[in-house]
Each structure stands twice: as C-alpha cells, then as structure tokens.
C-alpha cells in the first residue's frame, strides 16, 4: 500500500508518517526531512534549497523531484511506502502518477483537515532535535528532560521556518500550490478526509482503521 499524507504545515503529517511507518512496517519518505538533511550537510542541493526553505517557499520542482526519484529508486519500497511532503503541487502529482504506474499497491491519499488556529499553535511550539531530527512540541509532546532529545540527548531547537512571518508564508504557499491536490485526488477517488485536529493517537488509529478496512 502507498499512503500520501496531505495537509497544511503543522497538520501532523510528519508525526503520523513516523508512527504509521512503525505500525504498518513500511518505510517513510519525507522530502522536508531529506532537504533539511542536505542543508545540514551543506550539499550542493542543500545550498540551493536553503534560501527557499528559510522563506517558506517551495523548493523548485527540478531539485525536489530529482532527489525524490533517486530516493525511490535506491530504497526498498517494494512493499509500499508512506509519503510526507510530496507531492506539493500539480506537476509533482503528475510525476508521481507516472512513477506509481510502474508499481503495485493501492494508493491512499489521507488529507489531514486541520484548522488554522491549531496549525499556528503547533508550529510555534514545535521543537526538533538538532542531532536526530526527532519532533517535539513544548506543550503537546514535551521531551522528558528540558530541551533535550529523549532518543539521543541532542539539543532541541526551533526550525528556522517555524517563525511567525515564515509560518504565514508557508500557509499562503500551501493554499496557492498544494490545496488544489485535494480536488485532484478526490476526482481520482483516492482521497480520504480525516480530522487532523484530534490528538495524535486518535488520528493514527483512524488512519489505521481506514486502510485496514479498505484493504480487506
Ligand atoms: P516539510 O518539512 O514537509 O514541512 P510542512 O509541510 O510545512 O510540514 P511540517 O513539517 O511543518 O508539518 P507536519 O504536517 O509534518 O506536522 P508535524 O507532524 O511536524 O517541508 C519544509 C520545507 O521543505 C517546505 O516549506 C519547502 O520549502 C520544502 N519542501 C518539502 N517538500 C517539498 C516539495 N515536495 N516540493 C517543494 N518544496 C518542498 O507536527 C507539527 C507539530 O505539532 C509538532 O510539534 C508535533 O509534535 C505537533 N503535533 C503533531 N500532531 C499533533 C496532534 N495530533 N496533536 C497535538 N500536537 C501535534
């Protein structure tokens, strides 16, 4: 099975993708995580992507799709996978359609429908581990020890694109470029709406129940 998690910034795509990957035992591919890794390692791609990411703009398609296709080719995705952050616009959705034509497995596009007040609260309180990238929230999912990662003791930091002005731009970019994918996948009868406003565990169970029931 192939699951695309679709939704605005802060809807919980990354949180759900990691938990789903564990529960369903399929890999998780996050274009945001891959890009941040490239920025951290100061690769050529990272240097080019950084300026767009810091402003909250989309990284140009040729850069992202090249990286995405490489990753899909190199990893063991034969039993399916979970996508978080790709596709992000119509051109990327069409590229993905072509890639999926050569693969077996049913496609589920899970749209995490989340209200703006919750998005802002989540993004402004998010902290990530500077070493392993694990995700926390100051109120909703705090670390056990003050500002230290539970998994690797790394220092927790704020993502540079989680500042207030950048959050506003990311939401505008989402509405302009990504939200139209809801209709795109609805027309293909692949779209499933789930409220992203609930607690993470509730959202996770709803997704698992949905894909388990549909897969029977
Ligand atoms: P990306 O990393 O994909 O960012 P995003 O889509 O803006 O999504 P976020 O990571 O902000 O939110 P999320 O929905 O994953 O929420 P999360 O689970 O973290 O992309 C970053 C940038 O990379 C883009 O702006 C762009 O520049 C570039 N990029 C990436 N892909 C691209 C592409 N395909 N094309 C072009 N450019 C691309 O949760 C947020 C917070 O809320 C966390 O603190 C979490 O702990 C908390 N939380 C989550 N769920 C819940 C819940 N149910 N209840 C309470 N708290 C919760």
- Binning pLDDT at 50, 70 and 90, where does residue 169 land? very high
- 207 touches ligand 1 (CB under 6 Å): no
pLDDT tens-place string over residues 131-163: 998 999 999 999 999 999 999 999 999 999 999
Q: Which residue's alpha carbon is nearest to atom 29 within ligand 1?
A: 32
Give me the active site residues, please. Answer: 13, 88, 126, 159, 170
Q: If you average pLDDT over every residue of the chain, what do you get?
A: 94
Q: Look at residue 73 in the predicted model and tell me its pLDDT.
A: 79
Whole-number Å distance, alpha carbon 9 to ligand 1 midpoint, is: 5
For residue 75, pLDDT beyond 90: no
Tell which residue, 131, 125, 198, 137, has the closest CA to residue 167: 125
Strand 2-6 and strand 81-84: the pairing is: parallel
Strand 126-129 and strand 156-157: the pairing is: antiparallel
Q: In the beta sheet, which residues pair with residue 157? A: 128
Q: Look at residue 216 in the predicted model and tell me its pLDDT.
A: 64
Q: What is the mean pLDDT of residues 76-100?
A: 92
Residue recorded with tokens 């309180």 = 125
Q: Look at residue 149 in the predicted model and tell me its pLDDT.
A: 97
For residue 215, pLDDT beyond 70: no
Rounded to whole angstroms, the maximal C-alpha distance in the chain is 47
E strand residue ranges, 16-134 = 28-30, 81-84, 107-113, 126-129
Taking the complete model, does pTM exceed 0.85, yes or no?
yes
For residue 170, pLDDT beyond 70: yes
Q: Look at residue 104 in the predicted model and tell me its pLDDT.
A: 82
Decide: 38 and 49 in contact? Cβ < 8 Å: yes
For residue 3, pLDDT beyond 90: yes
Whole-number Å distance, alpha carbon 114 to ligand 1 midpoint, is: 12
- 111 touches ligand 1 (CB under 6 Å): no
Q: Calculate what percentage of the chain has a pLDDT beyond 90.
A: 87
Tell which residue, 84, 50, 45, 43, has the closest CA to residue 62: 45
Hey, which of 3, 9, 83, 151 would you mutate to test ligand 1's pocket, going by the most ligand atoms within 8 Å of its Cβ? 9
The dihedrals phi and psi of 169, each to the nearest 5 degrees, come to -65, -40
For residue 179, pLDDT beyond 70: yes
Tell which residue, 94, 122, 105, has the closest CA to residue 180: 94
Whole-number Å distance, alpha carbon 190 to ligand 1 midpoint, is: 22
**C-alpha distances in Å from residue 121, one per residue of 13, 41, 57, 163:** 15, 30, 20, 12
Q: Does domain 2-26+79-124+166-214 have CATH number 3.40.50.300?
A: yes
Q: What is the mean pLDDT of residues 30-47?
A: 96
pLDDT tens-place string over residues 41-63: 999 999 999 999 999 999 999 99
For residue 79, pLDDT beyond 90: no
Decide: 179 and 161 in contact? Cβ < 8 Å: no
Residue 55 CB partners (closer than 8 Å, separation 6+): 161, 166, 169
Eight-state DSSP code of residue 3? E
């Amino acid at each position: 099975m192939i699951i695309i998690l679709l939704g605005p910034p802060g809807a919980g795509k990354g949180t759900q993708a990691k938990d789903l990957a564990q529960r369903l035992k399929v890999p998780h591919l996050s274009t945001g995580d891959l890009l941040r890794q490239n920025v951290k390692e100061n690769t050529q791609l990272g240097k080019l992507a950084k300026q767009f990411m810091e402003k909250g703009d989309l990284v140009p398609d040729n850069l992202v799709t090249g990286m995405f296709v490489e990753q899909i080719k190199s990893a063991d995705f034969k039993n399916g996978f979970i996508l978080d952050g790709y596709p992000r616009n119509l051109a990327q959705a069409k590229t993905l359609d072509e890639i999926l034509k050569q693969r077996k497995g049913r496609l589920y596009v899970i749209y995490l429908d989340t209200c703006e007040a919750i998005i802002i609260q989540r993004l402004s309180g998010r902290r990530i581990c500077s070493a392993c990238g694990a995700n926390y929230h100051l109120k909703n999912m705090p670390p056990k020890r003050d500002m230290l990662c539970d998994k690797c003791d790394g220092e927790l930091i704020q993502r540079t694109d989680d500042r207030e002005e950048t959050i506003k731009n990311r939401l505008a970019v989402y509405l302009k470029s990504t939200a139209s994918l809801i209709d795109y996948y609805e027309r293909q009868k692949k779209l499933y709406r789930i409220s992203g406003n609930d607690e993470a565990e509730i959202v996770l169970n709803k997704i698992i129940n949905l894909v388990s029931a549909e897969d029977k």
